Homo-oligomer: A and B are copies of this chain.
Amino acid sequence: MAVEAQAGKTDTRARLVEAARGLFLKQGYAATGIAQILKEADARSGSLYYFFPTKEDLLLAVLEQYKELLWPLVIQPVFDRVSDPMERIFGVLDGYRRMLLMTECAQGCPIGNLALEVAESHPAARTLIAENFDGWKQAIEQCLDDLDGRLPADVDRKSLASFVLTVMEGGIMQARAYRDSAPFEQGVAQLRDYFDRILDDGSNWSKG
């Protein structure tokens, strides 16, 4: 019985986080009301306040969950399917393109949305947003490290990984503004052109 009650609690908490995650992604943090979260999660307000005394606590739980799901949901499936480090980077980016196509560009990057909406008003959330970005960039940096020998020695890998995130987020923003995946796809094509030019230099450099 105690075990069942515990399982029920865990289940309610998970439903609340999942409902909030979906609503924040679809309509934003400020536009999402507590009543809507309760309805979507099929939960009572007592449960909500038990697990999450404030709406911000729920936001933090959502951001913690994104951190936990980054590797299993976003990175690892690409790394399992693709072995070339350069293609792994573009495989991760392609995941976002497919998400744009599936949602007709209605849905963007959940972390990017929250970065612009709550970074200023919710400092604890801002820290978790930055940690989500850190994790994403570490995955890209790992690919750059694995390119070893093809990248010129003077390339700053941290800066280049950050640039990949910049292009991803800026491209998604334009795709959403135009409701068209083309600006995202063009951005990724420009990034690939940039990588080709850098790698060309790398091969010249290692021959030199």
The chain A residues found within 8 Å of chain B, CB to CB, are: 26-28, 30-31, 106, 108, 112-113, 115-117, 119-121, 126, 129-130, 133, 156, 159-160, 162-163, 165-171, 173-174, 176-179, 183, 186-187, 189-190, 194, 197-198
Main SS class of interface, A = helix
Q: List the B side residues contacting A189 at CB < 8 Å.
A: 159
CB pair B174 A162 closer than 8 Å = yes
**A115 pairs with B165, CB closer than 8 A:** no
Q: Which residue of B lies closest to A178 (CB)?
A: B130
The reply to whether A187 and B166 contact each other, CB–CB distance below 8 Å, is: yes
Nearest-Cβ distance from residue A33 to partner chain B, whole angstroms: 10
Point out the residues of chain B lying under 8 angstroms from A112, CB to CB: 116, 173
Query: Is the pair B116, A176 in contact by a Cβ cutoff of 8 Å?
Result: yes
Q: Taking A165-B174, A166-B171 as given, write out 7 further A-B residue pairs in contact, using a Cβ cutoff of 8 Å, ordered by the A residue number.
A: A30-B31, A116-B176, A133-B177, A160-B190, A163-B186, A163-B187, A163-B190
Minimum-distance CB pairs A-B, first 7? A170-B170, A166-B170, A30-B30, A30-B31, A169-B170, A163-B190, A115-B177
When the two chains form their complex, are residues B28 and A117 in contact, meaning their CB atoms are under 8 A apart? yes
A179 with B126, Cβ < 8 A, contacts A159-B190, A166-B171, A173-B169 known: yes
